[in-house]
Amino acid sequence: MSLTSRLRVILRSKSDRALTRLEDPREALDDSYEQQVKMLQQVRQGLAEVATAKKRIELQGQEMGGRYQRLGDQAQEALNQDREDLARTALERRSLLEGQVAAIRDQYLALAQQQAQLQDNERRLAERVAAFRTEKETIKATYAASEARVKANEAAAGIGSQVGAVGADLDRARDRVAQMQARAAATDELLSSGALNDATAAPDADLERQLSAGATKADVDRQLQSMKNARAADRSPGPHPGSRGGTDAWLGIGEGTTTP
């Protein structure tokens, strides 16, 4: 397989994995769940803000109610002291305060209604998010189990998406092994014929090797001829005059011409 073909196979495999990730329903379900959770958080944040504003108006109304009561008591005390002018002033302020209380009471009731609506929306949305989460996890578990079955079946049948790449790897491995075997056989022949010289050997080492082989052959030929001559003369060959006997006989090996 050429380099271009290998790159094509690799890119196709990577693109297939990328498409598989894009089409994976589990990721889509997780994204949808995260969006719903964000919506629920926004609703809860809005509910907290409305409740805070409602509480602030409630505290302001309670403060106005206390002042309203004090102004009524002051008007009554002024009349008891025959101070009609002070009683009139207290009542006038009390009348103005009634208008202010009426205004914030309307705001308070509107915020209370809005809070009730937000609480109802938060409850229903929280229930929907919880139900969606349960359904999501069920679908993801079913998909994972099905995916595992598909991979196991494809592996058993040998039809997975990686089979083509595996077959190509096997073909490349076989080609490399065949090339290496052919190269080893060729280098063996070159070494045996002397055509491939050892770059680390000493100069003219090949000549020394051939001369040594020729000397060994000549010595063998001489020994063989000596054995033939001894047999022709009908005498048994004896030990070489220069050979040693006993346990140190090996010391005489190679001293002169060796006769078996």
What confidence category does residue 89 fall into, taking pLDDT thresholds of 50, 70 and 90? Answer: very high
CB count, 10 Å around CB of 125? Answer: 17
What confidence category does residue 49 fall into, taking pLDDT thresholds of 50, 70 and 90? Answer: very high
Residue % of the chain over a pLDDT of 70 = 68
Poorest-pLDDT segment among 1-10, 100-109, 204-213: 1-10
Cα 66 to Cα 106: distance, rounded to the nearest angstrom: 18
pTM metric for this prediction: 0.47
What confidence category does residue 130 fall into, taking pLDDT thresholds of 50, 70 and 90? Answer: very high
Alpha-carbon distances of 120 from 2, 43, 113, 114, 127, rounded to whole Å: 67, 10, 11, 10, 11
Q: For 53-69, what is each residue's pLDDT tens digit?
A: 999 999 999 999 999 99
Query: Are 14 and 162 spatial neighbours (Cβ–Cβ below 8 Å)?
Result: no
Q: Higher-confidence residue: 257 or 230?
A: 230
Alpha-carbon distances of 146 from 140, 141, 142, 161, rounded to whole Å: 10, 9, 6, 16
Poorest-pLDDT segment among 21-30, 91-100, 241-250: 241-250
Poorest-pLDDT segment among 17-21, 79-83, 161-165: 17-21
CB count, 10 Å around CB of 75? Answer: 21
Cα 101 to Cα 63: distance, rounded to the nearest angstrom: 10
With CA atoms as reference, report the closest residue to 63 among 90, 114, 92, 100: 100
Q: Is the pLDDT of residue 135 over 50?
A: yes
Q: Is 71 exposed, middle or buried (0-12, 13-18, 19+ CB in 10 A)?
A: buried
Phi, then psi, of 80 in degrees rounded to 5: -65, -30
Cα 173 to Cα 190: distance, rounded to the nearest angstrom: 26
Query: Are 43 and 122 spatial neighbours (Cβ–Cβ below 8 Å)?
Result: yes
| Overall average pLDDT of the 180-198 stretch | 72
Q: Higher-confidence residue: 166 or 240?
A: 166
Q: For 137-180, what is each residue's pLDDT tens digit?
A: 998 888 888 888 887 877 776 655 555 566 677 778 888 888 88
